[in-house]
Structure 1
């Protein structure tokens, strides 16, 4: 999965014992969002390089070695990551203690969570009983380009439609791609011919211009200017 909470929650609810493979590309994007591609600190450069190694791992031995390196990073930079800074909120005047190197902490925690949850290298060690273990992939690239892109295209092409009309359009697109579809009249009758019982949804294209911090997806277009208040644009310095 790409990291979205919806898919994860649905899988755990329907199949609680299912092993989940996190898309390694999306895991890298999350780290890159916190460190950028040109980190300023040694810790930032180290955790970013560690994230880049994910997509080059092809054996369980390499995966184990990667886990050791992640643990070593935590040992070496633990005190540094635990440093805190006193800052004053310009609006309220209140002083609070915050993590000095919060971005590197978030980058490390994102990888450490996936490592501890055993969601990084399922493709190297598929669960027993898997019919085609060679088909388990480490990324969602084939899904994004093969299925999701085809769904996004009609949604973008017909972005003038209301959210409900877009949802129905995509419902029927999926129906036409189904190998053994049910009777369309029966489906329409069960859903009150598209009225009432069907869930109302917001326009699918409304969120395309918003960055997804969970999956690392950037905005479709942006001005790159953050208008929200932030207490620092670099490494915070102050009382520890």
Structure 2
């Protein structure tokens, strides 16, 4: 991120690594949390078919996030989240106590941990002003109407293509795969240079190929103390291995 000019707003999917890096290197950048990923966090805790009334209510609040288009609707949603916390506070804070049969020590745990985590995830985003930045962006920002509330355009346009490219050429690994993805991304830049000139500068790929044996040699180190195998071998192991047998019957 140090080599990229700091944007006014950054939309992130919730990964802690991205949030920490932005806070360190882009301290003035305002963060918008992807609303779809916020929904997925809640769904992971409640499932898409929650059984309790509290689970159904918090899941519905999460689903309503992506339908908000105005500040008034955002204020209504925030009020509903507050009312949820007030109405279900006693239920969410219920504890279950158990006694260890050996030590006779008492332990407690939240009775409804998943619903509690789902509620706290939304409450954390709301208290830190991470949900509705797209509705109230900084005044110095141009094209305010183009601010996104999700990372869908990135996931569907760029990441999906990269995943497809990697899956199609899954035989490549290490430096080969990295250069393949790097080249694809470079072709999507606004003004890419002439491919012939780029190939000439990299000695027609020989510079990249020289890195492959070095990287492979470093990784191809068996560790007999931990049992880690080598990345590849040059012969068939002739010693008896109990865990490998001849498969019989239909596959």
Q: What TM-score, normalized by structure 1, do the two folds share?
A: 0.72
The CA deviation at 1:171 is 1.1
Out of 85, 92, 97, the residue aligned to residue 86 of structure 1 is 97
1:120 and 2:131 equivalent?
yes
Out of 174, 177, 181, the residue aligned to residue 188 of structure 2 is 177
Q: Which has the higher contact order (CA 8 A, sep 6+)?
A: 1
Aligned residue pairs total: 197
Please list the CA deviations of residues 163-220 of structure 1 after superposition, one character each: whole Å capped at 9, or x if unmatched.
Answer: 332122111211222223477369859xx93439xx99xxxxxxxxxxxxxxxxxxxx
Higher Cα Rg, which structure = 2
Residue ranges of structure 2 left out of the alignment (5+ in a row): 1-11, 217-251
SS in 2 for 1:143: helix
Q: What TM-score, normalized by structure 2, do the two folds share?
A: 0.69
Out of 100, 107, 123, the residue aligned to residue 118 of structure 2 is 107
SS in 1 for 2:81: helix
Out of 8, 13, 25, the residue aligned to residue 2 of structure 1 is 13
1:98 and 2:112 equivalent?
no
- Sort the Cα spacing of 1:87 and 1:173 in 2 relative to 1 into closer, same or farther, 3 A: farther
Q: Which residue of 1 aligns with 2:77?
A: 66
Deviates most, 13-22 or 43-52: 13-22
SS in 1 for 2:116: helix
* CA–CA separation in structure 2 for the residues paired with 1:6 and 1:117: 17
- Sort the Cα spacing of 1:24 and 1:187 in 2 relative to 1 into closer, same or farther, 3 A: farther
* CA–CA separation in structure 2 for the residues paired with 1:42 and 1:107: 14
- Sort the Cα spacing of 1:157 and 1:76 in 2 relative to 1 into closer, same or farther, 3 A: same
Matches within 5 A, 1:25-40: 25-40=36-51
SS in 2 for 1:30: helix
The CA deviation at 1:9 is 2.4
The CA deviation at 1:87 is 4.3
* CA–CA separation in structure 2 for the residues paired with 1:89 and 1:169: 56
The CA deviation at 1:97 is 1.4
* CA–CA separation in structure 1 for the residues paired with 2:207 and 2:143: 39
* CA–CA separation in structure 2 for the residues paired with 1:89 and 1:149: 49
Q: Which residue of 2 aligns with 1:229?
A: none
